[in-house]
Structure 1
């Protein structure tokens, strides 16, 4: 952590500074996740709609820094202990209350949590929090950022901006790697080095940096598995790659998820060239296993989109012919039972995001962080 005298130390004890909470309450800018239970919009003396803020539920929102704006008061900045408390509240209380089948509720929850996590990172940046303190907050924030694209995959662009989300993921990873540079042990470092490799699949700079990690981290099973996935991808060894994907846990699978349809498309293209023949029948059940697809019907539709025909008769097989192949874009991301949901088991999504199985009871409580920070 940078000990520069120019970096302020946050003194705000709440998830949202009182000044902001009162101002947003006056202006009617509270999110319904932040209001008193059962509170609905009511009319103020001037006829303006207003809502009552619940101090235990109101969370500081992200505000874009303005040019020439003076540094916020320390009483408007949350210290690391409060930031960690905020992240856990957003995941365990807000996100775990979401009905994933209700697209409106899902959209509202995603936009709320995503915005408030940006504000968390903003408070960290102002204070120049690094080392173990910053790592814990960033790790749990990244848990959400890596899982969310799978959970909100069907939301419209006005609710889920894929480019903005990816930018936040990359910036959070960059800051986390800076935290890891300090000469201290981070219990989850190997896990997140592996997650970065899976998220940045095929990135030679990321792989080269991973090869230079201390052997304690570089030889960890998670990192070695992630490196094997990257090598299989670069070698276009799709059979090996999809076999390795079955060994990833749920959070790792979510980190890889954005590459899945592209890898399947490349695998199909290779098979079409390798088995192009009028007399060749490639079984759909084998094709589904090779690409870790949940059903033969899904594979059949992938083939039909590309101009390939299914073999006549009772055998469920596809005829690979280069002459009939249509060059189409990969499928949109969809539900993945084998590679994601089955691995979740009985965990909540908050548990997956926070690494509940490995870190609960968590190694760092907010009170411990507060003591270390001071």
Structure 2
């Protein structure tokens, strides 16, 4: 298949823009100040490939510079638009970034080009996975987000490996190294417990493995492999912003595992575990939060509500995991960042 080089310098090719304006197919974020039928900034939408559809013409594909500006616009202007709930912005950005990814494939970009465009998409999906974790399935589908995050992570990692294999490849600049280390950390945290991801961490170049954040991630993953869930949980709050947010998605499964361990270790009517200790161990910020956990798994509090009784016979093994939720230690980190700067990997801490 011949390579097609895009020539469109705008966010949306003229042909599509005219058609969608004519057919009144503009998204809320493409309307000027939200006014009905008054076009604002249009961004090319995602369309699926079909067997009978011809290869797009150069003027229907955006240049690399235009794709970069599109990603920046979406992750600067749209993501900070508070006129609608975040799930609206997520749906719009998600669709438009899929269009960017499709053009990367059509134009057969090389590894370096792919990396620059895919890294911010990975960050957006990772952040959104946490930001929308409390929403209903009608507003946000975590499985679809997980699927696309894994695809994009795998795509970026393959590009890193491809560049490593090139004889002419030079060691990355400090900025490129920081970006790669952060993405490698996201892959490790997102795939916590996966033998494949842990094996990858052992084979990475020294300049990645010596990075302080990567070292912390590696210690967390090693502790998980060893079954030391205490060290895993103590490591989570030390992670920076988006990494910490993505780690919080794993919390409910780890909390359940620890509670199951306690039902075996302390299954005795004469034994109880103090509430303050459990709050600190499970990274739960209130007694009511611990009560929710115990109620869900049929674990009893003592009469004075200051301790918990564990019983192997009573623990509910059949109930579903609790949904991930916004955690106070994550929220405090996210409040201190300028989101576009972080998603575009211009700032890491």
**Residue 44 (structure 1) aligns with:** none
User: How many Å separate the matches in 2 of 1:208 and 1:162?
Assistant: 26
User: How many Å separate the matches in 2 of 1:11 and 1:240?
Assistant: 52
What SS does structure 2 have at the residue aligned with 1:37? helix
User: How many Å separate the matches in 1 of 2:235 and 2:136?
Assistant: 32
User: TM-score, with normalisation over the residues of structure 1?
Assistant: 0.85
In the alignment, which of 117, 139, 147 is matched to residue 97 of structure 2? Answer: 117
User: How many Å separate the matches in 1 of 2:348 and 2:34?
Assistant: 37
User: How many Å separate the matches in 1 of 2:42 and 2:334?
Assistant: 30
In the alignment, which of 145, 148, 159 is matched to residue 165 of structure 1? Answer: 145
| Offset from partner CA, 1:286-323 (integer Å, 9 cap, x none) | 1011011121210122112222211123x611011212
Q: Residues 117 and 141 of structure 1 are in contact (CA less than 8 Å); yes or no, is this contact kept in structure 2?
A: yes
CA gap of 1:237–1:16, structure 2 versus 1, over 3 A, is same
Q: Residues 284 and 300 of structure 1 are in contact (CA less than 8 Å); yes or no, is this contact kept in structure 2?
A: no
**Residue 71 (structure 1) aligns with:** 55
What SS does structure 2 have at the residue aligned with 1:324? coil
User: How many Å separate the matches in 1 of 2:35 and 2:231?
Assistant: 55
CA gap of 1:200–1:105, structure 2 versus 1, over 3 A, is same
User: TM-score, with normalisation over the residues of structure 2?
Assistant: 0.91
**Residue 4 (structure 2) aligns with:** 8
Mapped pair 1:146 → 2:126: yes
User: How many Å separate the matches in 2 of 1:293 and 1:14?
Assistant: 48
Mapped pair 1:53 → 2:43: no
**Residue 221 (structure 1) aligns with:** 212
Q: Residues 96 and 348 of structure 1 are in contact (CA less than 8 Å); yes or no, is this contact kept in structure 2?
A: no
| Offset from partner CA, 1:316-352 (integer Å, 9 cap, x none) | 11011212222222211111111x1111242133333
**Residue 95 (structure 1) aligns with:** 79
5+ residue gaps in structure 1? 41-50, 360-374
In the alignment, which of 22, 28, 37 is matched to residue 18 of structure 2? Answer: 22
The correspondence of residues 191-202 of structure 1 with structure 2, limited to 5 A, is 191-202=182-193
Q: Residues 248 and 327 of structure 2 are in contact (CA less than 8 Å); yes or no, is this contact kept in structure 1?
A: no
Q: Residues 133 and 142 of structure 2 are in contact (CA less than 8 Å); yes or no, is this contact kept in structure 1?
A: no
| Offset from partner CA, 1:251-306 (integer Å, 9 cap, x none) | 11222233221111111111111111111121111101101112121012211222
CA gap of 1:246–1:155, structure 2 versus 1, over 3 A, is closer
The correspondence of residues 363-374 of structure 1 with structure 2, limited to 5 A, is none
Query: CA offset at residue 204 of structure 1?
Result: 0.9
**Residue 34 (structure 1) aligns with:** 30
**Residue 350 (structure 1) aligns with:** 340
User: How many Å separate the matches in 2 of 1:241 and 1:38?
Assistant: 45
What SS does structure 2 have at the residue aligned with 1:357? coil
Mapped pair 1:126 → 2:106: yes
5+ residue gaps in structure 2? 164-168
- TM-align CA RMSD: 1.8
**Residue 166 (structure 2) aligns with:** none
Mapped pair 1:285 → 2:276: yes
What SS does structure 2 have at the residue aligned with 1:246? helix
Q: Residues 145 and 165 of structure 1 are in contact (CA less than 8 Å); yes or no, is this contact kept in structure 2?
A: yes
More divergent stretch after superposition (122-131 vs 193-202): 122-131
Query: CA offset at residue 68 of structure 1?
Result: 3.3
**Residue 306 (structure 1) aligns with:** 297
User: How many Å separate the matches in 2 of 1:349 and 1:279?
Assistant: 50
**Residue 370 (structure 1) aligns with:** none
What SS does structure 2 have at the residue aligned with 1:266? helix
User: How many Å separate the matches in 1 of 2:144 and 2:237?
Assistant: 29
Query: What is the aligned length?
Result: 337
What SS does structure 2 have at the residue aligned with 1:318? strand
What SS does structure 1 have at the residue aligned with 2:156? helix
What SS does structure 1 have at the residue aligned with 2:285? coil
| Offset from partner CA, 1:138-192 (integer Å, 9 cap, x none) | 1111111001021122333233222222221111112211221213523311111
| Offset from partner CA, 1:207-258 (integer Å, 9 cap, x none) | 2122111111122222222222112222221111111112111111222233
In the alignment, which of 101, 108, 111 is matched to residue 88 of structure 2? Answer: 108
User: How many Å separate the matches in 1 of 2:132 and 2:146?
Assistant: 13
